[in-house]
Amino acid sequence: RRLPDGSLNHFYIRRLKTKFGTRTMASGEIDFVEAVAYPLGELSEGIHIVTELVLNTSRWANAVGSAGLLRRAYVEAWHFARHRHAFGHPIAQYPLVAEALAEMKSDLAAMLAGNLRLSHLIDRIDMGLSGNEEKRVHRLLVNINKYWTSIQASLGIRRAQEILGGNGAIEDFSILPRLYRDSFVFESWEGSHNVLCLQALRDMQKYRLHEYLFDYLDTLLADITAHSLYDMRLELTKRMETLRRQIDHLLQAEPDFQQTHIRRMVDRLMALVQAVCLLAAAGWELSQALDTDTPLLLEFFLNRYIRPNYDPLQDPDYQERLRLITATL
């Protein structure tokens, strides 16, 4: 911002950093020398303003951006798999390629469902329609969702690069190398994985925020009325009760034990959150009589993240499920 007399404020760009990814968004170092500062709010609320306007907004945007990265990677891989032929057939017809595409598509659907649910919470908070319970849900979810979605995006982009083979590493063949570099930075932006998981641990200990999140998920499950989704609704309800007990056990343990296992607990919690959000999306789509493959994607997601005893080797319908999931973009 320029000074009232129209002159530049007193800051100096020391250097722009050469980053591994997100190169079009500059990162640098700036020296402020007797610069004039303008408050964005009450001076006594500085840390709260920074947390809300910078950290929480950026972490939400980071998660939405991760979904965008994964979506673009999936689109690139899906089209390439139908264009590229090997041994007389498009490689999309081969099970290993179909499996990679199905994993990406189901992860993307779950990521999008979770992001949109979080966005809905933010809208309600911004419009003054939320209660304290929803604000507590947002406080926990915005952190663990950023952590989980950034990891999902990086892993999914790697799967897309597998489908392209050696071309997946060629900078001028596709956008995938850039997406992978960007996703690496997304993982570190606005809180590294360990920082976010430890913040979640502190919030669970001090404010019991996980209890508000479980109540919120319980409300989403209660609103699902489609008969075809009843078994999955019951399954996720039982999974949530198990996770409640596991988190309570963790919070009663010694600090070193808590810090050792909080990350795997956040993994389980986010898998549950995304599964419930995807189930809610499937319920709404069925209530609108939409032609949707969301229930199929949900089943695939549950098999990968929620059902510890599921084994694709023992599933006679596994290959057909892959074919159905990857038949459409």
For residues 13 and 91, state if they share a domain: no
**Same domain for 133 and 27?**
no
Say which range, 48-62, 182-196, 302-316, has the weakest mean pLDDT: 48-62
Instruction: Tally the domains of the chain.
Output: 2
Residue 131 has pLDDT above 90, yes or no: yes
Per-residue confidence at 1, pLDDT binned at 50, 70, 90?
Answer: confident
254-275 tens-digit pLDDT = 999 999 999 999 999 999 999 9
The share of the chain scoring above pLDDT 90, in percent, equals 91
Checking if the pLDDT of 52 tops 80, the result is no
Identify whether residues 121 and 58 lie together within a single domain.
yes
Q: Do residues 170 and 31 share a domain?
A: no
Same domain, 5 and 83: no
Does residue 192 sit within a domain?
yes
Closest among 244, 240, 205 to 219, alpha carbons compared: 240
Please check whether residue 121 lies inside any domain of the structure: yes
Report pLDDT for 326.
98
Which residues have CB under 8 Å from 298's CB, separation 6+?
A: 106, 109, 110, 232, 275, 278, 279, 282
CB within 8 A of 264, min separation 6: which ones?
Answer: none
| Domain co-membership, 125 together with 12 | no
Between CA 298 and CA 275 the distance in angstroms is 7
Assess if residue 311 is contained within a domain: no
Residue pair 28/14 in contact by the 8 Å Cβ criterion:
yes
Q: What is the mean pLDDT of residues 75-84?
A: 99
pTM of the model: 0.94
1 and 60 both lie in a single domain: no
pLDDT value at 51 more than 80: no
Let me know whether 114 and 206 are in one domain: yes
Strands 89-90 and 11-16: unpaired
Q: 17 in a domain, yes or no?
A: yes
Same domain? For 234 and 142 the reply is: yes
pLDDT of residue 152: 98
302 is a domain residue? no
What is the per-residue pLDDT across 98-120, written as a single tens digit (0 to 9) for each?
999 999 999 999 999 999 999 99
* Domain span holding position 9: 1-38
Is residue 185 within 8 Å of residue 20, measured between CB atoms? yes
Position with higher pLDDT, 87 vs 46 = 87
Is 310 inside a domain boundary?
A: no
Return the residue matching tokens 């966005």.
119
Domain CATH number, residue 203: 1.20.140.10
